[in-house]
Amino acid sequence: MTTPSLRLRAPAKINLTLHVTGQRVDGYHLLDSVVMFADLGDWLEVSLADTPSLRVSGPMAAGVPADGRNLVLRAAEWMGVPAAISLEKHLPAAAGIGGGSSDAAATLRALAQLTDQPVPDGAEVLGADVPVCLFGRAVRMRGVGERLDPLPDMPDLPAVLANPGVDLPTGAVFSGLARKQNPPMPDRLPRFDGVAEAAAWLGSMRNDLEPPARALAPEVDVTLRALADSPGALMARMSGSGATCFALYPDMAAARDAADEIRRAHPGWWVAPVLLS
């Protein structure tokens, strides 16, 4: 008998805004962030098994652990379900786009379907981004990642993601913050009539981790300039703790043209046109 399996995509998570509003006594930072997900990501094939296993492949597999250090195996262990998992990596690791957390969330969703049981509460023990990746659509994320408010009226946003291939340790970026107590976004977020309006408002917000990231890695500056100067770009910003940056465009044709131009100018970068939703 063939063992049932599920193949799921683990989409890239993009922080369109990221306001650091405080820090708890346990060290966790308080955030206020608009998060959307790309139509691009890793792929996982998950089946139930007697013995847990993980196989990693794909164009971004180099350096990704295939043992208990990988969050997908820890997610299966946390759920109490042994699984055989094949992880096809298309997203750069440790890049500010939630690759590991999204992989873990996809694993939990797959195991929930295969066992016909819900994902237990408390997935934040696996990582602060796992709950938002379980949610998987446009959302306002607050607290340490546990407060999730859907944004059903957010328009889909054509974008380009670009990563210059530098390592930016999250801890070092947070440590470089000049202030931990920064203003949040407004209590009520506006409704947007189209991409240009959304981009204009998002451009008036912040990613508080961008200045320390730029200080640690000048390549982030170069990436942001390349995106901002690309034809049709409406705004550009870093996602998460970096080093992946993004720009928004009026339509997907403009995003694809910009991605082609940036690839020609920077052939060593990871560049991808995407639709955020």
For 124-182, the pLDDT digits (tens) are 999 999 999 999 999 999 999 999 999 999 999 999 999 999 989 899 999 999 999 99
Dist CA 116 CA 110 (whole Å): 10
Q: Are residues 9 and 80 in the same domain?
A: yes
Q: Are residues 14 and 129 in the same domain?
A: yes
94, 122, 147 - which closes a domain: 147
88, 118, 147 - which closes a domain: 147
Q: Are residues 105 and 53 in the same domain?
A: yes
By DSSP bridging, strand 5-15 and strand 19-23 are: unpaired
Domain coverage including residue 168: 154-276
DSSP β-bridge partners for residue 46: 6, 85
Name residues of the chain where pLDDT drops below 50.
none
Instruction: Give pLDDT, residue 183.
Output: 98
CB contact at 8 A, 140 and 151: yes
Instruction: Give pLDDT, residue 3.
Output: 74
Q: Are residues 110 and 22 in the same domain?
A: yes
Q: Are residues 136 and 267 in the same domain?
A: no
Q: What single-letter DSSP state applies at residue 61? A: -
Instruction: Give pLDDT, residue 94.
Output: 84
* 136 three-class SS: coil
Number of domains in the chain: 2
By DSSP bridging, strand 139-143 and strand 245-248 are: unpaired
By DSSP bridging, strand 245-248 and strand 235-238 are: antiparallel
Instruction: Give pLDDT, residue 1.
Output: 52
Instruction: Give pLDDT, residue 233.
Output: 98
Please state the three-class secondary structure of 161-194 as a single string. Answer: EEECCCCCCHHHHHHCCCCCCCCCCCCCCCCCCC
Q: Which tokens in the block code for residue 116?
A: 């016909």
Instruction: Give pLDDT, residue 2.
Output: 63
**Is residue 247 within a helix (H) or strand (E), and if so which, with residue range?**
strand 245-248
Q: Are residues 186 and 259 in the same domain?
A: yes
Q: Are residues 46 and 162 in the same domain?
A: no
Instruction: Give pLDDT, residue 119.
Output: 97
Question: Which member of 13, 89, 103, 208 is catalytic?
Answer: 13
State pTM to two decimals. Answer: 0.96
Q: Are residues 103 and 17 in the same domain?
A: yes
- 36's CB contacts (< 8 A; 6+ apart) are 14, 16, 137, 138, 154, 157, 276, 277
Question: Which member of 32, 103, 129, 208 is catalytic?
Answer: 129
**Is 89 among the catalytic positions?**
no
